[in-house]
Structure 1
């Protein structure tokens, strides 16, 4: 029997298992955060697994009370519940849990939390930066300057006027990210509109926006940014008819899910030079190397970088660690994922 007070205290901690790939683990847990994790839970060996195949997983799951999951973690199905009779909580260090955790966990009463609020921060920051740069038409001036090698000249006349003063930004979906984008836009001289069937005018007003019909928003906005969840009824939410509603020289930004936009219709509209699209997500993802999106004028692609990257992921780790701390203190979780919300969240 151990007489080491520190070891005795550690034995009283809940047993936890990290279930994520090595890259996610290295990004999330620097030495300080790993040390905090060790003060909150008891980590066995191996403390991290990529998947749940093999004898190591069987042995570790038997006594695991808290599963800490992340990007790259496998789907947790009913078989995991059978193998982990002591499991009390799944603490997800990423955003969406729908592709990682089966509904059986909610049916069994296992607490599920996510770091979606923390991940919304960099996505909203990326979106704000893109709105302001596109509203200034900055990237078009940069490209024109590179091509023509002169500060002034006829090439500038074909670039549409900047809209960062008095322009209109339309937000599709008052999600976590959509709300934060609206709030970040408050200091700027822009009208902010929101289209979302699940909110009321007071919800939009609370973040400095005005609730309108989606078709109306598309027809009057200079910049449209998409933040709706990918659901059966939002597939191609921006279809050919709605893309045609967008005013000339409008800009569409998508940092949500590629399936929300009809790619073929978007390509056709951008080809005629009347629309720009900034896409951090695509359908499919990743794109095949011969995708038309790479070569369509007016379409700018980034490789799904809006969400937390590198040091930004530490914010997600902090969120997860805070939830574990609350769980140990028998305090209610802040970021619980409710089963009733699974049908409307990303």
Structure 2
């Protein structure tokens, strides 16, 4: 099996390390894109030639007809990023290739980071740090609020929003959610109260 990895050099080193490459080599031969941009179409096609699996990520170009033609036995596209929309083409859909993405795993990390930032904002970490750097020690302490008995609004019931609700259930907060694609009942099932965006 041939696995083509389509990521610009800088992006590839941010997303994958040798551990991932070692794991992938157990499943097949790796063909790794090794340039800083995708301007050389002939090189891109050569990397893809004969691939059974293509791994994409942020910044990978759309998987257009010329790419798909050089890998007629393509079985799967693995998008090592959130939504795979940037790489999908009608030709890829017509080929009926399996497609998977990392939005669930990434969504958890995004939600955890957002929660940390929310707690930090309530505690005024950023502002108090700046105050301390400017020689102020207690002037803004009264503005500090605990992450307790407050309303937290979440925009979207996607993977990030759903994981955020799970995390917020560990706190004494009211969880509100805006998502025009979900019903009141669906949002209640997630664990939040449906509200309008202005609320």
What is the TM-score when the length of structure 1 is the normalising length?
Answer: 0.52
- Aligned pairs for 1:216-231 within 5 A: 217=199
Closer, same or farther: CA 28–142 of 1 in aligned 2, 3 Å? closer
Give the Cα–Cα distance (whole angstroms) in 1 for the partners of residues 105 and 99 of structure 2.
Answer: 16
Aligned residues: 197
Give the Cα–Cα distance (whole angstroms) in 1 for the partners of residues 130 and 63 of structure 2.
Answer: 47
1:208 corresponds in structure 2 to 191
- Structure 2 segments unaligned to the other structure (5+ residues): none
Q: How far did residue 181 of structure 1 move? A: 1.2
Give the Cα–Cα distance (whole angstroms) in 2 for the partners of residues 105 and 91 of structure 1.
Answer: 13
Q: How far did residue 52 of structure 1 move? A: 7.6
1:90 corresponds in structure 2 to 77
2:28 corresponds in structure 1 to 41
Q: Secondary structure at the match of 2:154?
A: strand
1:259 corresponds in structure 2 to none
1:176 corresponds in structure 2 to 159
Closer, same or farther: CA 140–62 of 1 in aligned 2, 3 Å? closer
Give the Cα–Cα distance (whole angstroms) in 2 for the partners of residues 57 and 141 of structure 1.
Answer: 50
1:151 corresponds in structure 2 to 137
RMSD, aligned α-carbons: 2.3
Closer, same or farther: CA 141–60 of 1 in aligned 2, 3 Å? closer
From 187, 190, 214, the equivalent of 2:170 is 187
8 Å CA contact 1:66–1:88 kept in 2: the answer is yes
Closer, same or farther: CA 86–56 of 1 in aligned 2, 3 Å? same
Closer, same or farther: CA 212–88 of 1 in aligned 2, 3 Å? same
8 Å CA contact 1:18–1:49 kept in 2: the answer is no
Give the Cα–Cα distance (whole angstroms) in 2 for the partners of residues 96 and 104 of structure 1.
Answer: 18
From 28, 31, 34, the equivalent of 2:15 is 28
8 Å CA contact 2:131–2:137 kept in 1: the answer is no
- Structure 1 segments unaligned to the other structure (5+ residues): 1-13, 218-346
1:196 corresponds in structure 2 to 179
Closer, same or farther: CA 54–212 of 1 in aligned 2, 3 Å? closer
Q: Which has the higher contact order (CA 8 A, sep 6+)?
A: 1
